[in-house]
Each structure stands twice: as structure tokens, then as C-alpha cells.
Structure 1
Amino acid sequence: MLLRLPDLWGVGFLVGDFPLDTVLALVGIAVPVGAFLWEFVVVGRRRLGYRVQMDTPVTGEITSVFPGVLEQLRSDSAELRDLSVVLVRIENSGAIAIETADYLLPSPRIGLHLRFPQRRVIGMAVTELSDQALADSLGSNSGIGVREDTGGHIGVIDLPKVPLDRSDHYKILAILQRSEGSGEYPAPVLVGGLKRGRVTETESRTGISRMMLALVAFLVLVIVVQFAVAVFEPEPAPADCATGRLTLVGSSAFEPVVREAAAQYAKRCTRAEFEFGFEGTERGLDRVTVQGKDNRELLAISDGSKGVAYPALRHRALAVALFSVIVHKDVGVRDLTVAQVRDLYQDRITNWKEVGGRDIPVVLVNRLPGSGTRDTFDRRLLDAAQQPPRRHVSCTGIKDLIGTKPEHCDVQVTSDMIAAVAELPGAIGYSAFAEASKADVVPVTIAGVRADRDAAITRTYPFWGVEYAYSYGDPPGDSLAAAFLRFLTEQTGQEVLRAFGNAPCDDLPDRERCLPDS
């Protein structure tokens, strides 16, 4: 698998299946370490450096800086013009000592040439020895001397093979006269070589070296690339992530919960995709029964146990779910007992004034047979008592009849139930509590107890049911269906269930309550 990062600088980043951020971190460490080893161990272990500390034309100030020097020169020469003074520091800038045998010039005594293009040397002196012992190697018998090269256009000071311990240095002060050209003088150059080392011009220690600037620039580049990778490269999927396309069908009451859980799973496992078909519990169970054998990535969500029907399906308990009795906001009732709910749906109460409400005929709204929510309503509040047989009536079809006498009508899914109760004066119905609490209806308390997860766990609130997921047989362990079920029952999906007011089966003190037909 290859991941193309956004083109930040006109170049696409192509990242394979390896930890690029780790590689960049290792490179960021290896390059400075390698540069250090190369500079100070391989080539810089033995290094002789030179630095031009002063190169200035001679004016009257030379008298005060070097008292008597100019007068002495003038006495030795009839006319000296265009003079300059140069001070060069020569030092061991490496990691080990430099011996006389380390110099590469073939001369037995001369190890370096200090060259001054366009100038000739008319006077020189050795000054500022870091160790007075160096004087023995720089005396009059050492070979140090002045000459001219290339027809007198380049002045040269020959320097002897001076042994230098670490950090040892000496300085050469030269009085020069222009030999050709005009304007600024070319910079002095120290020529020579060392075994397994080099001669190099150094810079003032008060500044930042080019090597340091290059390393800083490289490390900044590494950090920028690491930041780009961290921002644009998706985090690796957790170990329990599965890929594929899972279809979820069934209970419309539990649809919002399942959709949110699927969205959370897809954020965590980016190669998982979901499709939905929430048309009611019975239709969902039918679909899995017919299609599930050939499509193992198919799950039906049910508001209750399937009972003895659908023998090929396997259940997985998810959570205790809260349901609510809901009424139109103008009926004037906020609380009902279980007995009153039963009497309403068995046509023994037909006007809201009989239970302390307004003088409005009751409109009973039911889910169609086969609905898991209706089955839970009948079991928990009607105590399995049969509702009187009624012909099917569309809630849309009775809108113009409302207000004159009691009515009843049927809806297909939860959203239709909530819409009907909100629109029809005198209406009563039932739905998942999470959806009812956000709609323009009144969720009534039951015998003074409001819908609450803790009340459902302790059974003090009576209108609850167990949500199940059904698959055709047991889903393969590496399938998206199996991974999503684990997510819902063992992982972060439990937090989604709780957020919608449900109690995961693991939260129950009596987990057998989640068994079918409990």
C-alpha cells in the first residue's frame, strides 16, 4: 500500500508501509553525528588552521601600533609606498597533535608557504607564541624566510615544520608593499598539506561556522518534513480494525445509535465502509435470513429477541435500551401509570380529561405488527395483553378527522411515529427515548419515574428493552461484522451506547437480563 501525501512544495511525498517518521528521526540523528565524526575524526582529526586577523593599509597609526617600525623601514629604503600590515594566526585546530613528519612539503625543513598575491614582503616577525617552546622551531636556523615568487608579484614567507600540540598557535606579522595591481589586495593564502589531515582557513570563534549553519538548516528541514508527515499521514489503524463494507439493517429506533457508532468506527478504521437500511426489525431479520448466507457482512439490529423464528440467525446482545411513551404537547398530561397506558391502548380511556388532561379525544398511534419497538411496548407496558383488533389506518389519512372522536393509526418507522404524535392533536405513541427527547413531543413519566438509564438498570423504570444484533450464523472472526460487534460490546462503541441513554450489557449487575426472552 502506498500513501501519497499532499504536495507541499510542488513535490509529492510517497510513503510506503514503513514508519517514515522514525526514519526521519534516525536521519536527523545520523547526519549530525556523521558530520561530527567526519569533521573531527576522519579529516579533522589532524588539522592546521590559519586566520587573517588583520590586513590593513599603513597610515600614521602604524607608529602607535608598532612604535618605531615605520621609521626603521624608511631608514632602510629610500621610498616606500602603498604599504600594508598583515597579522596571520596559525594554529592546530584539530583533535590531535601535529608532528614535523606530518607536513607533506618535500623540503626537509619548510612545511608551509604563506603567500601574499600582488605584494612583496619587506619585513616580518613571529609573535604571540602559545608556548615559548615553539620559539626553538621558529628561530633563525629553522628555515623561516622571505622570498618572492612568479617574477616578484607574489611575496612568500616560508614557514618551518613546527610541531603543534592541540590548540597551540603562533602568529606572523608581515609588512608588505604592493607589487602590482590596484584597489583591495587579494587575501593571503597558507599553502601546504598534512598526512591524513588538511590545512584550512578558519573563522573567528565568536561567529557561527558554515558547518553549524548547514547542520541547523538540515535539522530544520527534517523537523518540517516530520511535521508534514505527522499532519497528513493517517495514524496506523488499530490492530482490531477490519476492512470491507458492512450493511446494517433493522430497527429504526436504534438507527441513530448504530449510525453514530459506525461513524466512530470508520474514523478509527479508515478502510471500513458502512451501508444502512433501517426499515424496521422484521424487515431487517427477513433480509438477513434471505441474503445472509451469501453476504456475511450483513447485520440486523432488533429491539428484542427474535423468539423461535429465524432459526439460522445468531444473536449478540448489545445493551438495555430506553423507550418512552410520548404524547402531543397540548394534551395536558405529563405522567401516566402503567395501568393508564394499558387502558388507553385497550380503548377503555378515550378522552384525555379522564386522566387529568384536556377535553381532547385520544388518538392512538401504533407501529405496524413486526416492529421490535411495538413488541417491546406490548411486553413491558401492556403485559402481553392483546390490543383490540383494528384495521390498518394511515396517520396521514386521518388528519382531517382529528378532534371529533377517538382515532387510531399506524406508522412504519420511528421517525414517522414521532412526526405523527407531534402533528396530531390528542395523539399518544411510543419510541426510543433518545429520539423522543429531541423532538417536539412530550415524553411522559411512568408512575412518576422518568426515563433514565440507572432507573432502567434497577428496573424502577418499566419501559426498556434489550437490543440485539443478528447475523446469519456466526460471522468470520476477521470480518468487519465481527470486528464491529466487538467494537460495540467491548470497546469504544460502548461509550456511544451510553451517550444515547442505553446501558451496555456489561454495565448490568444481572447480565442474564440480556439473554433472549429474559
Structure 2
Amino acid sequence: MKLFKKISLVAVTSVMLVSSALAGAASAAPSQLSGKITVNGSTALLPLTLQAAKEFQKLNPKVKVAASGKGSVTGPQAVKKGIADIGACDWDASMDVPGFKAFSGQVANKVAVIPFATVVNNNVQVTDLSTEQLKGIYSGKITNWKEVGGDSADIVVITRAFGSGTRVNYQSKALNGGDITKKEKNYKEVGSSGDMKTAVATTPNSIGYIDLVYVTSDLKAVKFNGVAASTDNVINGSYKIWAYGYYMTKGQPTGATKAFIEYVQSSKFQQSSLKKLKFIPISAMK
């Protein structure tokens, strides 16, 4: 009887080991998903998209993801024209927002929380700016750094071109809906987040705005109403300049496009690569 029990136990254990091995082999098998996914739009979301594409293609070698960024509005426009499967956008383009009508028939797939920061050239001594001070600077009423506690020097205003999601959100949340007034001098418009970073980093006495992933030691993020631009401060509710990032699709996504969006939304990506890039997981916001 004891011998029978031992034989039975060995048999069950063997079955379990074989089943486990087969399951492991199945999970290690390469994905059969195939196709090409084209992503256009937001340059704020571009670092996230490129990283996700790299990871997704490794898991799905028969899928190619091509991503580019020219500003948020170009994302849903490209989807509407049929030249992109995903339109990366810093606002929900299925709804009206100031300056832009809704793109009918498109679905907004929420993929990230994007913190934005006011940035200045490293030679600027100011470390904190209020809503009213920023409104004054971008409307052209405040033109010298000494008016906001800095050295006497003309402020060089750098802004994103119309159609930028970063601009839409910064104007709404940092400027409280205030104007960005074009000036004849000490004023420049740039077309992407990368261009903004370069312009502020290389232009003395300049000010601009960008999402946190682009903030490095060659420029300086200033506080907003006394609160530092950080992921923790967005999560705890004390820092207000942030927005959700979306992948817009024509109707509900399907196939490889659906799988890619679901990967970006997955806990695996949200809690690792997304956080390392200074974005915030969707689940962190209550």
C-alpha cells in the first residue's frame, strides 16, 4: 500500500512537471500577431510611444510600429485621413476643446498622465512663478526678469506653435486660459517638444514649457505657485499642470493596434518603463 502511494505521488508529480514545462514552452513561443502600426501626433507622448514600440516589437516580432511626432492635432488628423492607425494626442480629441472641434467617429484610448513644467534657461535666477506672473509674461505685459524677482534682462518667450497639445494644456492650466501674445521681438514659436528643449537650453533669458521627460540638467524647471513640477506632486494634487495623454483611433481599435494599446495600458508597462520616463500611470490618479 505504501509502495502504491509512492508510485502514485511520483506519477502525479511527473504529470505536474510535464504540464508546467509545456505551459512554459507555450508562453515562451513567439507571438503570431502580425501587421504594421503607424502612430502620428504628440511629441510629448513620443518618448513613451517609442519605448513601448521597442518592447512590443520584441514580444511580437511580426509587428512593426512606426512612430513620429509633429504636434497633437496632427494625430487625429492623420487618423481621419487614414494615414495613421493611432493619433497620439494630449487631449481627448473626440470632444471639443478650446480652439479645436471634436474629431467625430474617433475613440480616445487613455494611455498616460503627462506632467508639464515651466522651464527657463540656466542663466535665469528665478525659481518660482505664479499664475499671474506667467499670464503677464505670455501676454507681453511683463517683459523683464526683474519684474518677477530676477536680474534685469529682457525675457525671451518661447512657445509651441498652434496645434500643440502641450500648448493647449499649458495655456489652460498654467495661464488659466490666458492669452499667448505674439511679439515682434524676444518671441519664438517651435514645432515640437525637442525643439522647445533645444531653444530654451541654448537661448539666454528664455522661458518655455515642456513635459517632464524632456527636462534635463541643460535647462531648469521652475516651481508653479510654490510647488515643484514632479510626478509625486501631480499625484498628491498639489501640482496642477498636467493632462491625460490619449491614443486616438478610428472606432474601437482591433488587431495589432488593439494589442499595442493594451500593452501600453498594461500594468507591466505602466509601472515600469512609463514611470521611468517621468510619465504617471493612469491608475495613480483618483
Band of TM-score, shorter chain: 0.7 to 0.9
CA distance in 2, matches of 1:502, 1:423: 25
Q: Which residue of 2 aligns with 1:324?
A: 117
CA distance in 1, matches of 2:116, 2:68: 21
* Shift of residue 471, structure 1, vs aligned partner: 0.6
Higher relative contact order (CA 8 A, sep 6+): 2
Q: Answer whether contact 2:89 2:245 (CA < 8 A) is retained.
A: yes
Q: Which residue of 2 aligns with 1:396?
A: none
Q: Answer whether contact 1:331 1:360 (CA < 8 A) is retained.
A: no
| 1:429 and 2:222 aligned | no
* Shift of residue 412, structure 1, vs aligned partner: 0.6
| 1:455 and 2:233 aligned | yes
- Amino acid aligned to 1:371: S
- Amino acid aligned to 1:424: T
Give the counterpart of 2:266 among 485, 490, 500.
490
Q: Which residue of 2 aligns with 1:505?
A: 282
The structure in which a higher percent of residues are helix is 2
Q: Which residue of 2 aligns with 1:299?
A: 86
Q: Answer whether contact 2:231 2:280 (CA < 8 A) is retained.
A: yes
CA distance in 1, matches of 2:136, 2:92: 26
CA distance in 2, matches of 1:439, 1:417: 15
- Amino acid aligned to 1:496: S
Task: Describe how 1:20-31 pairs up with structure 2 within 5 A.
Answer: none
1:248 match: secondary structure:
strand
2:73 match: secondary structure:
helix
Q: How high is the sequence identity, in percent, across the aligned residues?
A: 27
Q: Which residue of 2 aligns with 1:480?
A: 256
Q: Which moved more, 1:339-348 or 1:362-371?
A: 339-348
* Shift of residue 440, structure 1, vs aligned partner: 1.0
1:467-489 residue CA offsets vs partner (Å, 9 max, x unmatched): 0110111122xx11100111111
| 1:250 and 2:37 aligned | no
RMSD across aligned C-alpha pairs, in angstroms?
2.1
- Amino acid aligned to 1:501: K
Q: Which residue of 1 aligns with 2:178?
A: 385
TM-score by length of structure 1 reads: 0.47
- Amino acid aligned to 1:266: Q
CA distance in 1, matches of 2:192, 2:161: 8
Q: Which residue of 1 aligns with 2:8?
A: none
CA distance in 2, matches of 1:332, 1:429: 15
* Shift of residue 335, structure 1, vs aligned partner: 1.6
CA distance in 1, matches of 2:165, 2:266: 24
* Shift of residue 270, structure 1, vs aligned partner: 2.1
Give the counterpart of 2:161 among 362, 368, 377.
368
* Shift of residue 499, structure 1, vs aligned partner: 1.6
* Shift of residue 451, structure 1, vs aligned partner: 1.6
CA distance in 2, matches of 1:270, 1:356: 55
1:218-273 residue CA offsets vs partner (Å, 9 max, x unmatched): xxxxxxxxxxxx9xxx94136xx732111111101111111011111122222221
Q: Which runs of 5+ in 1 are unaligned?
A: 1-21, 26-229, 394-405, 510-518
Aligned length: 256
Q: Answer whether contact 1:378 1:385 (CA < 8 A) is retained.
A: yes
1:165-215 residue CA offsets vs partner (Å, 9 max, x unmatched): xxxxxxxxxxxxxxxxxxxxxxxxxxxxxxxxxxxxxxxxxxxxxxxxxxx
Q: Answer whether contact 2:76 2:103 (CA < 8 A) is retained.
A: yes
* Shift of residue 493, structure 1, vs aligned partner: 2.0
Q: Answer whether contact 2:160 2:166 (CA < 8 A) is retained.
A: yes
* Shift of residue 363, structure 1, vs aligned partner: 0.7
| 1:275 and 2:62 aligned | no
Q: Which runs of 5+ in 2 are unaligned?
A: 1-17, 97-101
CA distance in 1, matches of 2:90, 2:72: 7
1:46-95 residue CA offsets vs partner (Å, 9 max, x unmatched): xxxxxxxxxxxxxxxxxxxxxxxxxxxxxxxxxxxxxxxxxxxxxxxxxx
Task: Describe how 1:81-100 pairs up with structure 2 within 5 A.
Answer: none
Q: Which residue of 2 aligns with 1:354?
A: 147
Give the counterpart of 1:289 among 80, 93, 116.
80
Q: Answer whether contact 2:46 2:68 (CA < 8 A) is retained.
A: no
Task: Describe how 1:134-149 pairs up with structure 2 within 5 A.
Answer: none
